[in-house]
Amino acid sequence: MAAGPGGDRFRETDQMACRISEICGVIIIADLSPDGDLLSHGLTSIQIVRIIGALFREYRVSLDPVDVYDHPTARELAVLIRERTEQGTDV
């Protein structure tokens, strides 16, 4: 069975979530899964700023520290980033 447009979007978001977990894992020095809770690793404000900067460089989307607290997994951040870029509210 061929994947429809929704399947492609899911696959792209899943790939993005994996990439975001890699980026965050390097910054907080942890092996993260896309569904791993960033906050459970004792995230510091400096690490949040570094994550926001890295995600801006990678995806050209502006995030606030509150976004990381409200979307504490790589998968949730991927969905947020995708929504913002699709709505044109990326920068």
The reply to whether 52 falls in a domain is yes
- Write the CB contacts of 14 (distance below 8 Å, at least 6 apart in sequence): 34, 75, 78
Number of folded domains that form the chain = 1
pLDDT digits (tens, 9 = 90+) for 8-22: 766 888 999 999 999
pTM of the full predicted structure?
A: 0.84
41: containing domain: 15-87
Q: What is the CATH number of the domain that holds 80?
A: 1.10.1200.10
The reply to whether 8 falls in a domain is no
Question: Is the per-residue pLDDT at 46 higher than 90?
Answer: yes
The average confidence (pLDDT) of the chain is 89
